[in-house]
């Protein structure tokens, strides 16, 4: 896997990937952002070649934080189920993103440092009584990655 993510849920046209690593890797958020940007670039490239009637969209929501595995039940389609605030937040952001948009929390952007270009969208409610800064992730700033 290019960005070492794991698909943990796939329902209909929605997929959930986890980028936590076994052991402590501080680049989980960076790998998640790079994967989303790469998927968006590929999606745009492929849909520009095809007759797309506009009914297919790609939307992303990214957050970071502690998640946990819970045992799978008979109603779960896969063997791994992840839970936690970052999962709920990412789903919330994804559901509110415009087609092709990658929405990220301020917490994730802080981890990304100055490596990525993003537009602030202001604070948004993401859970009951919880608001967070939301950003539109645009691209990776290659000059920030190449410089020491």
148 pLDDT higher than 50? no
- Tokens representing residue 115 in the block: 């490596």
Dist. CA 10–CA 13, nearest whole Å: 7
Instruction: State the chain's mean pLDDT as an integer.
Output: 77
* Most confident range, picked from 85-89, 123-127, 135-139: 135-139
Q: Work out the number of other CB atoms within 10 angstroms of the CB of residue 139.
A: 13
For 35, the 3-state DSSP assignment is helix
How many helices (H) and strands (E) are present in the chain, helices listed first?
Answer: 4, 8
Average the pLDDT over 62-68 and give the result. Answer: 78
Contact 58, 99 (CB under 8 A): yes
State the pTM of this model.
Answer: 0.77
Split at pLDDT 50, 70, 90, the class of 2 is low
79 pLDDT higher than 60? no
Average the pLDDT over 54-61 and give the result. Answer: 72
């Amino acid at each position: 896997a290019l960005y070492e993510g794991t698909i943990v849920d796939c329902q209909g046209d929605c997929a959930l990937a986890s980028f936590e690593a076994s052991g402590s890797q501080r680049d989980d958020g960076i790998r998640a952002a790079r994967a989303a940007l790469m998927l968006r670039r590929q999606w745009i490239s492929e849909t520009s070649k095809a007759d797309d009637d506009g009914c297919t969209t790609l939307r992303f929501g990214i957050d970071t934080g502690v998640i946990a595995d819970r045992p799978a039940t008979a109603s779960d389609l896969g063997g791994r189920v992840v839970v936690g605030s970052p999962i709920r937040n990412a789903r919330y952001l994804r559901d509110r993103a415009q087609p092709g948009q990658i929405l990220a929390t301020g917490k994730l952007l802080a981890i990304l440092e100055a490596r990525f270009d993003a537009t602030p969208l202001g604070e948004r409610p993401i859970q009951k009584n919880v608001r967070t800064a939301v950003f539109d992730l645009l691209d990776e700033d290659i000059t920030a990655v190449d410089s020491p």
